[in-house]
Amino acid sequence: MIKVLKLQKAVISFILGILALVAYIIMSSNKLESSSYVLTLAGLLFIAGSLMAIYPILFGKKDKKGKVELDPEKREAMEQEPEGATS
């Protein structure tokens, strides 16, 4: 399902955000001043991941029944094929 919705980049961003958050916790326990930069990076990765996750939903096209097509390019290619053609 992740491949169908093209959410791989969002999932990778969330994973990197979690890793940065773990690094922040370790750095803050050692009282390093640069830990705030790592926390900022984790926040930015979470924000980027959430925007990438919601992008296909916001820009999906509605079909005749009112349902949202998450992959409109694939649907348009199928509509342009002749009916008698087989793949």
Fill in the amino acid letter for 62.
K
**Higher-confidence position of 55 and 22:** 22
Residue 6: predicted pLDDT: 66
pLDDT digits (tens, 9 = 90+) for 29-78: 998 888 999 999 999 999 999 998 888 777 766 667 766 666 656 655 66
What's the mean pLDDT in 78-87? Answer: 58
Residue 55: predicted pLDDT: 81
Domain boundaries, the chain: 2-80
Pull the structure tokens for residue 79. 């509509």
**Higher-confidence position of 83 and 2:** 83
Pull the structure tokens for residue 13. 């961003």
Residue 67: predicted pLDDT: 67
